[in-house]
Each structure stands twice: as C-alpha cells, then as structure tokens.
Chains A and B, each alone.
Chain A
C-alpha cells in the first residue's frame, strides 16, 4: 500500500503488475478508483459556465454523452484533464483527478462565484457520497450485464446512463483509462463493496482486482496522459496532442481560459509535441533526455516503462516540432548512457472502444 493523493492505495493486489496488465486485456480488471472526485454541475447555465473553463464543445454534446476534456489556465496550460458528461442541458457530471481535487474545486468555485454574480444560474454538488469503480477489459460488458436489466449493448463508448446495477442507482459511463472496452461506475458508497464483490463473483474469478502499478502500465500502453507527468500547468492541450478534444466551434470562437494562446498554436503549430517511443536497453523513465542521432537534446521523456503486453519498452515525452515524425531515430539517456530508440505513434496497444459499427 502506498500514499497517493491523500489516500492509501495498493500498487498491486496478489497478482504481479505484469500479470494484472496482461489479464486486463485478456479477461478484465476491476479498479477501486474511489479516490477520484466526481461532481455535478446543475442549473440553466451550467453548460455555458463550464465552457468558460474547458476546451470541449459542451453545448454540442448530445444528452447522455461525454468526452475527455482539459481545464485550462490563462496561459492555455492544463490545470487538469477530466471526463465530462452532459447528462441533460441542465446537468453535467464530471470526474477529476484525485491529485488535483483541491486545485480544481477551488478553481471551479472561484469562477462559479463570478459567473453567478453576473446573474448566471449554476450550482454544484460534489459526489462524496459516491464511490467510483472502473471495470475494464473484454469481460467488462458481459459481467456487468448480469447485474443490470438495462441493455448495455446500446451504451456506446462515451455514453452515460443512470440506472440500477446490483440493486442501487449508479451513474454509468462507458469509458476508462486502459484503452479496453469498459465502464466507470459511480455507486453510492455504502453499496460499493457489495458491487465490487458481485462483479468479481459473476466473472468467476477472471476479472481481478487491479492496483496502481498495472493501472499505470495499461494507460501507458494506451497512450493516455497521466496528469502530473505527461500534462502539466505549462503544457497546452495542443502540445499534448489533444487538439481533437478542442471542439470545432471552440477553435473558432474561443471563450475558455487561455484561448488566445491555444488558438495561436492551432494556427502556427506548437513548438513541442507529445510523441511515443520504443527503446532498447532499460526502460526510459520520466525526465530521461531524448537526443537526436548526433547527440543534440531534442526533448524529454515524461513517462515510460516496460509494456507487459508488447514485451518491450514504451515511453511518451515531448520533442521539438520538426523532430516529431514517426520513425525518427533517437537516443534516450538512461542513467547517463544513451540507448537506441525511435519515435512511434500511440496508442502502442490498439484500443478496443465499443463504438457503433
């Protein structure tokens, strides 16, 4: 068990990190992510309010759908990444990182006060009465289907539903942090343990409790950012390769913090870009320097490790624009020694999101 954002969490349960990571993609994993912070924004103006703080086209989301987005600061940098869902035009449900909870809530509260003082109708509720469980992998849907009457085959990637699961009212989002098909389930805290047990039992032991170590390996294989490593206050969503998350209308209109910086980057191109790497030798880790073939520093690794599913080293980091093309040969310094590597696209392991055919 290790301290994590004020919580005590397991790096692993009984299974090794490698076994857990492989098992998630073969069978499935259940993660206790109750440390994450879920909240609801309500009111007539909750959509325009949230649009002042995030890059998503919230107005354009169909009810019951959501997306990954970024909360930006005045310089266009990322305050946090978050999965937001428009439940209805007057209710938005969002989940933010545990490590950013205090920062994010203070930020939202400050802006909400200003927005309300100008007559805007928005209020919030922080879901501390609920706990989040993440169920990921090929068995996620079949197992969860045993615990609810709703037809999960109609709930596609990015969609949201409030429904009864195992006897309690849950917020269900078809999303996750592994690249696999799966769900994040917000359940009333007093029913969380029962739901977790029910899920594990229905899977006949194939879905395994999975800890932080494998969670990190899985998201790395899926090419997903870890806020605090691959995304920080000084990195914009454009630099992070999340331009797709900036709504089309938002690219034209702006209206979120730091829009001037971001819109300029969209026009001129960013000076640095997030890319993936394969490398030989020891796994490249955060802060390892990336050099071109002539030994000039061109970037830095922000996270990396050994991929249990690919059985090779994978990493992500930032390099100077112009040096970022796939196939570019690089040298990565690990403990002072250079090792051969090359830039590659992400995800490293193909994603299996459940989308309509």
Chain B
C-alpha cells in the first residue's frame, strides 16, 4: 500500500491536485471526464483517449490480459467494446463516448500490467474519433466522479 500511495502522491504533485489523506483514496485527475462504469476519457478536439480509472484497476487486481477492439470499429457511448481481465475476474470496458477506433495501445498485449501501474498514462486503451462532441457533457467531472467512487465503496 505504501508504494501505491507514493505513486499517487507523485502523480498528484505533478498535476497539482490533492489526494484524500484518509486511508487510501484512488487517484482522480482533474482534466479528465469519467463514466459510471469507471472509464476515464481525455478529449482533444475531436479525438478522445480512454482507459480505466485508478479506482477500477485497484478493484480488479493484477491485469493479465486486455481484449482490444479492431481499428476502424465503431463504438457507442455506454456499450462494451472490449474487456480487461485480472487474475480473478473479467470486466467489460464500456465506451464513454461514441466514435470510430483510430488507435489501440498495442503495448498492452505484452505488458497488460501497465493498466495497473499507469492507468491514466501508459495504460491508455484506445483512441477514437468522436462522432458526437455533445455526448461528453453526459460524463462526470473529477469532483463528481470522486464522490461517486466514495459512495460506491461505502456500499460494500
């Protein structure tokens, strides 16, 4: 746990955000948008990059396989396009926005563990060309997502 806290503080200070001090809270980055199924998305003009959040990778455990979609495939907001497998479970990845897949992170085939160690950077999963820029408005910002995670964890 100490090692993860160190990583989280490094990311936090790099991005100049604060992380909760009680126990260990997952890292939530301010400039990203979030879906209720725990995917993050970074929007850059009409391109979006996404992956799964720190909260998601922490609950999944060691990721051993990532099922990537084919290039050119369409994805729709809220629909599953692939899966992330950990030692103990398989979890669908849902697309936070609609669009066309233009790039997939091939590195994950060799190093699926990047999803755990760097969920927001090296562990990105796919990049799409947005089909509807308005859709992003339906997603949560970092504050809403942090609260959402707290509420979800409190239920367990």
Q: Do A and B bind each other?
A: yes
- Which listed residue (A14, A17, A281) contacts B62, Cβ 8 A? A17
B83 CB contacts on chain A under 8 angstroms: 282, 335
Q: For the complex of A and B, list the 10 residue pairs with the smallest distance between their C-beta atoms, beginning with the closest.
A: A306-B64, A18-B62, A17-B87, A282-B65, A16-B62, A213-B88, A282-B85, A17-B61, A17-B62, A14-B1
Residue of chain B at shortest CB distance from A285: B90
A123 CB contacts on chain B under 8 angstroms: none
B67 CB contacts on chain A under 8 angstroms: 282, 335
Determine if A255 is an interface residue (Cβ-Cβ < 8 Å).
no
A282 CB contacts on chain B under 8 angstroms: 65, 67, 83, 85, 90
User: Residues of B within 8 Å of A, CB-based: how many?
Assistant: 11
Q: How far is the CB of B84 from chain A (nearest CB, A)?
A: 10
Give the docked Cα–Cα distance between A281 and B1 (Å): 30
Determine if A308 is an interface residue (Cβ-Cβ < 8 Å).
yes
Chain A, range 1-32, C-beta contacts under 8 Å to B:
11-12, 14, 16-18
Give the docked Cα–Cα distance between A11 and B67 (Å): 24
- Bitwise, A260-301 to B at CB < 8 A (1) or not (0) is 000000000000000000000111010000000000000000
Determine the interface band of chain A, counting residues with CB < 8 A from chain B: 10 to 19
Taking Cβ atoms with an 8 Å cutoff, the residues of A that contact B are 11-12, 14, 16-18, 213, 217, 281-283, 285, 305-306, 308, 335
Q: How far is the CB of A336 from chain B (nearest CB, A)?
A: 11
Q: Most B CB atoms within 10 A — which of A17, A213, A283, A306?
A: A306
Taking Cβ atoms with an 8 Å cutoff, the residues of B that contact A are 1, 61-62, 64-65, 67, 83, 85, 87-88, 90
Q: How far is the CB of B65 from chain A (nearest CB, A)?
A: 5
A306 in contact with B1 given A17-B61, A17-B62, A18-B62 (CB within 8 Å): no
Q: How far is the CB of A340 from chain B (nearest CB, A)?
A: 15
Q: How far is the CB of A178 from chain B (nearest CB, A)?
A: 16
Q: Is the CB of B1 within 8 A of A217?
A: no
Interface of A is mostly: loop
Q: Is the CB of A213 within 8 A of B85?
A: no
Residue of chain A at shortest CB distance from B116: A16
A12 CB contacts on chain B under 8 angstroms: 61
Q: How far is the CB of A271 from chain B (nearest CB, A)?
A: 31
A213 CB contacts on chain B under 8 angstroms: 61, 87-88
A17 CB contacts on chain B under 8 angstroms: 61-62, 87-88
A283 in contact with B65 given A14-B1, A213-B87, A217-B87 (CB within 8 Å): yes
23 A-B residue pairings within 8 Å (CB atoms): A11-B88, A14-B1, A16-B61, A17-B61, A17-B62, A17-B87, A18-B64, A18-B87, A217-B87, A281-B65, A282-B65, A282-B67, A282-B83, A282-B85, A283-B64, A283-B85, A285-B90, A305-B64, A305-B87, A306-B65, A306-B87, A335-B67, A335-B90
B88 CB contacts on chain A under 8 angstroms: 11, 17, 213
Give the docked Cα–Cα distance between A305 and B62 (Å): 12
Give the docked Cα–Cα distance between A68 and B44 (Å): 61
Residue of chain A at shortest CB distance from B86: A17
Give the docked Cα–Cα distance between A345 and B133 (Å): 54
Give the docked Cα–Cα distance between A302 and B83 (Å): 21
Give the docked Cα–Cα distance between A16 and B62 (Å): 7
Residue of chain B at shortest CB distance from A19: B62
Give the docked Cα–Cα distance between A18 and B85 (Å): 13
Q: How far is the CB of B28 from chain A (nearest CB, A)?
A: 22
Q: How far is the CB of B1 from chain A (nearest CB, A)?
A: 6
Q: Is the CB of A308 within 8 A of B85?
A: no
Give the docked Cα–Cα distance between A246 and B27 (Å): 55
Q: Most B CB atoms within 10 A — which of A14, A281, A282?
A: A282
